[in-house]
């Protein structure tokens, strides 16, 4: 999946996801993803500045459709399908600016995020990650968060470090839509307890 960073999470999952939305930050309103957001997310992903270097070349419509489908979230999505997506909308006009998504497989959980290029350098990536990382582990039962970010993506590295991640070694990420791997840096962060989420109120 195209993203600024991918988080691999050791997890013990809950049976259902408590509803603690919407989440508000100074610039954003965060809500669970739905079918209405999928077309706009695919449109954002079609921008080469977003999908590179995770895709080899331009992703086709089928690949984008598969990606956008994974961001639709229903009440039972986490329990039955192992995914939970959060859409970020601007408070000023409701425009969709990006997405945070957690997916689960038999090995771990993975969290990815991206911001539409027209909203880069406005602090939105930080607000999305800073709002979700303390809350989603508690809501979804995650115990530890690990991230592999593209080595050259200095902006995402700064976001992760600002959100409490620490460097934990070198890694690689398999390219989507082709062969080969991308050099990454491995970061780690212990999940906060649900009560500790109150400390993030300063974002509001």
- Per-residue pLDDT reduced to its tens digit, 87-144: 999 999 999 999 887 777 665 667 778 899 999 999 999 999 899 888 877 677 777 7
Residues in the chain: 204
* Stated pTM of the model: 0.74
Q: What is the CA radius of gyration of the chain?
A: 16
Residue 26 has pLDDT above 90, yes or no: yes
> What integer best gives the mean pLDDT of the chain?
73
Residue with tokens 């700064």: 158
At 185, the pLDDT band (50, 70, 90 cuts) reads confident
Q: Which residues form the domain of 96?
A: 5-203
Q: 30 near 79, Cβ under 8 Å? A: no
CATH number reported for the structural domain that contains residue 172 in this entry: 3.40.630.30
Structure tokens at 127: 């607000």
Task: Output the DSSP codes for 71-104.
Answer: T---TTIIIIISEEEEEEEETTT--EEEEEEEEE
Output the pLDDT for position 5: 39
Looking at per-residue confidence, does 192 or 184 come out higher? 184
The answer for 30, left when phi > 0, alpha when psi is -120 to 50, beta otherwise, is beta
| Number of structural domains the chain divides into | 1
């Amino acid at each position: 999946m195209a993203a600024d960073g991918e988080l691999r999470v050791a997890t013990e999952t809950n049976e259902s996801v408590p509803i603690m939305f919407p989440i508000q930050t100074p610039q954003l309103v965060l809500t669970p993803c739905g079918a209405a957001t999928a077309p706009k997310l695919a449109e954002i992903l079609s921008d080469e500045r977003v999908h590179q270097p995770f895709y080899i070349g331009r992703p086709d419509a089928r690949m984008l459709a598969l990606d956008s489908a994974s961001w639709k979230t229903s009440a039972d999505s986490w329990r039955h399908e192992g995914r939970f997506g959060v859409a970020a909308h601007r408070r000023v006009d409701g425009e969709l600016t990006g997405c945070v998504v957690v997916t689960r497989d038999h090995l771990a959980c993975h969290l990815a995020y991206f911001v539409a290029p027209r909203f880069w350098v406005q602090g939105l990536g930080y607000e999305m990650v800073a709002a979700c990382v303390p809350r989603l582990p508690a809501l979804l039962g995650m115990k530890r968060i690990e991230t592999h970010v593209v080595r050259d993506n200095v902006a995402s590295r700064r976001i992760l470090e600002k959100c409490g991640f620490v460097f934990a070694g070198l890694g690689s990420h398999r390219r989507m839509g082709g062969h080969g791997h991308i050099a990454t840096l491995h970061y780690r962060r212990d999940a906060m307890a649900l009560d500790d989420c109150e400390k993030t109120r300063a974002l509001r």
